[in-house]
Structure 1
Amino acid sequence: MSGEGRSVRSYRPGEWFAIVGERAVVILPPTEKSRVAALWELVDGGAGFDVTLDALISGGLRDLPAFVLVSTGEGETRVVIRGPARAEFRVGGESVRLEGSNATTWVERSLADVDRMSIVLRPEDPLADEPPTYTVDGGLFRISRLDETPAHEGPDELSEVPAYEAEFPLDENDPLGIDLIPGFGYDDDADEPAAPVRSPEPPSWTPAPVGPPPPPPPIPPPPPPIDSGHAPLEPADETDHDGLTITGAWHPPAGEPAAPDSAVPVARLVISNGDVVDVDRAIVIGRAPETRRFDDGEQPRLVTVPSPHLEISSTHVEVRPGTGADLGTAVATDLGSTNGTVLVQPGLGPEELAPGVAVQLMPGALIDLGDGVTIQVMAP
């Protein structure tokens, strides 16, 4: 925002794509998924208003029915709105509302000293006026509303006396605010100085000299060898008579997996509903995930996500630590979902995952499950 203080961004999950960068925010409708990857790399790299706007409209406005672009810096907030979105700003205690539907091309304004900002993508939504539910620092999200507010709301007028002095007045004789124990510390009313502290005198006796330590006890002689001249014992089991049985340490039966070591997360999943999951084992995500597709020895973590329109399959996608060439990273696999899984890697275009094919995930990647649910892949 235009103010010098730090601000906090928050959002409500929805269908529109929001690319949140340090200097600019771009919001696109669900139909513009193909533009998201290129703009994400630009905005995440710190591009400002002019550069982002040129890239946004480089293909013309005919195929871009709606968008929102907001840029802040140098005490000024610049905004461009096209389509059904609505933006509200608080400037100097007054409210400024901009609606993209009021113009055939777009609505553009420059505002100074903006205190608050609220962007609603679907004003006709009954939940449009509901406050945001999740905070965001930067990244790629699916939203229905985006707000930006000051991090700390201060009073209109500051008291001349600092709060800590007004609530806890300091005593001139006790600047640290510590009550003195009688008999200790300083006393302004004392007539005579305190007696000096005497150093301890050396003892009048002399300790007796200490002799050398006693010698260690002698080492006992080793026990005599065991007489092995007796006849060997008969085996307890008459069936084991071949003399080839070898006694050794116990080993687990063949086919039984050894106990796994403590797993280290290779990635962190930030789901748009607010859940954060570390990828330290297989993670199965869906509307009602089940483990029936996995081996008995596999113990994946089940993560349930909302799907009000049932666009997300019950067992939709799996994210697990990679092996072999993918060791140290996370991989995603579509589990034969009905509507598919879309992956957007940083610097690459969107791709739909082929069922059963694992794809390595880069930090910053976005997994779109549909129904407004997205998963952002972060470093652990």
Structure 2
Amino acid sequence: MFRYPTPDDARGAGFAMVTDRFALLLGPGAGEALAAAVWEAMTTPDAAFEDVLSVIAAVGIGALPDFGLVELVDAGSSAVSVAVRGAATIDLHGPQRSSYAGTGVGTWVEGSAQHVAGISLGLGTDARISLLPIGRGVVRTDALEWGMTSHPPVAAPATPVTASPSPAPVPALEDIDPLETVAVDRRTLTASFGPRRTPQPEPEVAEPEIEEPEVAEPEIAKPEVAEPQPEPLARPEPPVELDDSTVLGSRRASAPVAEAPVAHRYVLRLEPGGEYPLDHPIVLGRAPRAAQHPGARIVAVPSPRKEVSGTHVEVRLDEGMLVVRDLGSTNGTIVRDASGEAGLLRSGATSRVSPGAVLDLGDGVLASFESPS
């Protein structure tokens, strides 16, 4: 079970959210509307790490709030994945301590660890008085803790023991010797987050084999087809005298009108930058290499804080559809459609978009699909 300190000013504190698989500390600048949207994403069945990040990133890379996110990946090995941004920090305690901080990063920092025996999340504060438990829900605070950390909570006054025999009490999680954490990792981590809910495949039921009787295929006689006889040559029509009222070409079949190439209907408009026709795939990045993308148009974009990867994303037309493909970028790309709905494209994923969609690569680099001016 997680613990949190009671803030002096609850309205000015952050949002701490705990579910059976996620723990999130969201900065107070996020606001209640974003906090409610993130909570809905975290509590959705089979929610993924990327789903929660997509909701946070929907506000735009330039307006990202401070946050620290932890996901239980595997209870058996006490493995977790983390993401941290801004003033938020995450400390993972265990055989090897790992610390993550988002200071000076435009997007966020990600990491993972195994055999985790304790977790500490903070928003730049160190208030560790009156730690209260939270099993599942949302509270206003600036810190979260679980398990064995270097800052144990204040213990309650000891209760006198009576002389009557009673079973030995089970030691609280906070009183366990840190040297014994490896032995309790699986139990304590599963109890705090709960087992990861993954859909179980339905058992396969073997169908009984039915021997089908062999049926001889009937012989079908092929009908005799008469060889086609050559048609008699048509006599040429006499020349037609055209007068002033005759429409030239009316006696000829009209030639099909060739449609303009779809690539000319759309251009990729960069901000900052210019317009690029989609007659070839376009690869965007801080320093993409032409040799790795033969046949594509290579466009380098500025990224002083290196939020844009060297090779970030590819855009192209595929059978008339606008397609965006992540090229293994570090922070992904926010894809916002014409209605304003946003999602995070990463890990090599591909998405089809409509005209008017806007891509946010980070560092203020925006790309949109528009009609040529």
TM over 0.5: no
Larger radius of gyration: 1
TM-score calculated relative to the size of structure 1: 0.35
Q: Relative to total residues, which structure has the larger helix share, 1 or 2?
A: 2
